[in-house]
Amino acid sequence: MKTDLTFFWFATILYGLSAFFYILNLLFKKEKFIRSGIILTWVGFLTQTLSLVWYWVELGGQASTLYTYTLISRISGTTWMGVLVFLLAQLSAKSLRPAGILIMPITLLLLIWAGFSGKEVGTFPTMLATWWFWVHISSGGLAYGFVLIAGATALLYLLKECEVSSTEPLTTQPLSTYFAQFPELKVLDNLNYRFVALGFIMLTIMIISGSLWANQVHGRYWGWDPIEVQSLISWLICAIWLHLRLTFGWRGRKLAWYSLFALIVIGINLSGIPFIEKAFHSGFRIQHQ
| 102 domain-assigned | yes
Question: Which of 61-75, 160-174, 209-223 has the least mean pLDDT?
Answer: 61-75
Closest CA to 160 of 170, 150, 152: 152
Report the pLDDT value the prediction gives residue 209, as an integer from 0 to 100. Answer: 92
Q: How confident is the model at residue 224 (pLDDT cuts 50, 70, 90)?
A: confident
| 51 domain-assigned | yes
CB contact at 8 A, 196 and 154:
no
pTM, to two decimals: 0.86
Residue 287 pLDDT greater than 80, yes or no? no
Q: How many CA atoms lie within 13 A of 279 on its CB side?
A: 20
Residue 100 pLDDT greater than 90, yes or no? yes
Report the pLDDT value the prediction gives residue 63, as an integer from 0 to 100. Answer: 46
| 289 domain-assigned | no
Question: Which of 85-94, 106-115, 159-168, 208-217 has the least mean pLDDT?
Answer: 159-168
DSSP letter, residue 98: G
Residue 283 pLDDT greater than 70, yes or no? no
Which residues in 8-81 belong to E strands, given as ranges? 68-70
Q: Please give the Cα distance from 78 to 74 (Å, whole number).
A: 6
Report the pLDDT value the prediction gives residue 285, as an integer from 0 to 100. Answer: 43
Q: Cα–Cα distances in Å, from 187 out to 31, 160, 250, 263?
A: 21, 12, 15, 20
Q: How confident is the model at residue 278 (pLDDT cuts 50, 70, 90)?
A: very low
Sign of the CA dihedral with 245 first, then 135, 71, and 3 last = negative
Q: Cα–Cα distances in Å, from 262 out to 78, 92, 159, 274, 281?
A: 17, 24, 18, 17, 23
Q: How confident is the model at residue 31 (pLDDT cuts 50, 70, 90)?
A: confident
| 168 domain-assigned | yes
Report the pLDDT value the prediction gives residue 163, as an integer from 0 to 100. Answer: 83
Residue 122 sits at φ, ψ, to 5 deg, of: 155, -160
Read off the pLDDT of each residue in 118-131 and give the average, rounded to a whole number: 59
Structural domain of residue 131, as residue ranges? Answer: 3-284
Report the pLDDT value the prediction gives residue 157, as an integer from 0 to 100. Answer: 95
| 30 domain-assigned | yes
Q: How confident is the model at residue 111 (pLDDT cuts 50, 70, 90)?
A: very high
3-class SS of residue 121: strand
| 17 domain-assigned | yes
Higher-pLDDT residue of 104, 124:
104
Residue 18 pLDDT greater than 50, yes or no? yes
Instruction: Say which residues have a Cβ less than 8 Å from residue 112's Cβ, sequence separation at least 6.
Output: 12
Q: Please give the Cα distance from 72 to 111 (Å, whole number).
A: 7
Q: Please give the Cα distance from 287 to 121 (Å, whole number).
A: 6
Report the pLDDT value the prediction gives residue 60, as an integer from 0 to 100. Answer: 58
pLDDT tens-digit map of 138-181: 999 999 999 999 999 999 999 999 888 766 554 545 667 778 88
DSSP letter, residue 132: H
The count of domains in the chain is: 1
Read off the pLDDT of each residue in 254-261 and give the average, rounded to a whole number: 94
